[in-house]
Copies of this chain bind each other. A is one copy, B any other.
Amino acid sequence: MKTTLTAPRSTKATDAATATALKLYVVLARAQRAIGEQTQADLEPHGLSITEFAIMEALHTKGPLLLGEVQRKILVSSGGITFLVDKLTDRGLVERQLCPNDRRARYAALTRKGVALMKEVFPRHAAAIRDAMSGLSQAEQKEVTALLKRLGLAAGGKA
């Protein structure tokens, strides 16, 4: 008897889960856009896009990296990393270096000029991100970070 009384794996429950997920989807996109808009402003005077900054930041904190390593870290296509490193090289901020073990590979490394730029720009950019996030307390930020990390890993793992 119980089965007939139980709601038939109701559409309602499914819809509630879907509605919750859709709201999160929209809010996630809008939050990221809002943060992005706030934090691009301080890079523009230096003619750096977010992606270019991400490359330089990676090289700044980790030292020279193979192009493929940078590519995986900042999540662009192989053509994209070539193009971006070309542009940064033209501006004298980054240089390619040969890899002694593997003649296919190339390192990207900051030039002296690139290091100087990062020393100037990085602290300001970090502060801009901190300010953009200040709508949440630090504890709340940690909470969101933990949840989003789980969300991202679960979604990414399915790929």
Binding site for B on A (CB under 8 A): 14, 16-18, 20-25, 27-35, 37-39, 75, 126-127, 129-136, 138, 140-145, 147-156, 158-159
Contact call B37/A129, Cβ cutoff below 8 A: no
Smallest Cβ-Cβ distance to A127: which chain B residue: B18
Most buried by B among A18, A127, A143, A147: A147
Contact partner of A20 among B28, B31, B135, B141, CB < 8 A? B141
Query: 3 closest A-B pairs (Cβ-Cβ)?
Result: A135-B154, A31-B152, A34-B156
Known: A143-B147, A144-B147. Is A152-B20 also a contact (CB below 8 A)?
A: no
Write the nearest CB–CB distance from A137 to chain B, whole angstroms: 10
Bound-state Cα–Cα, A82 to B10, Å: 41
Q: In the complex, which of the residues B130, B150, B151, B153 contacts A18, with contact meaning CB atoms closer than 8 Å? A: B130
Query: Are B141 and A24 in touch, CB under 8 angstroms?
Result: yes
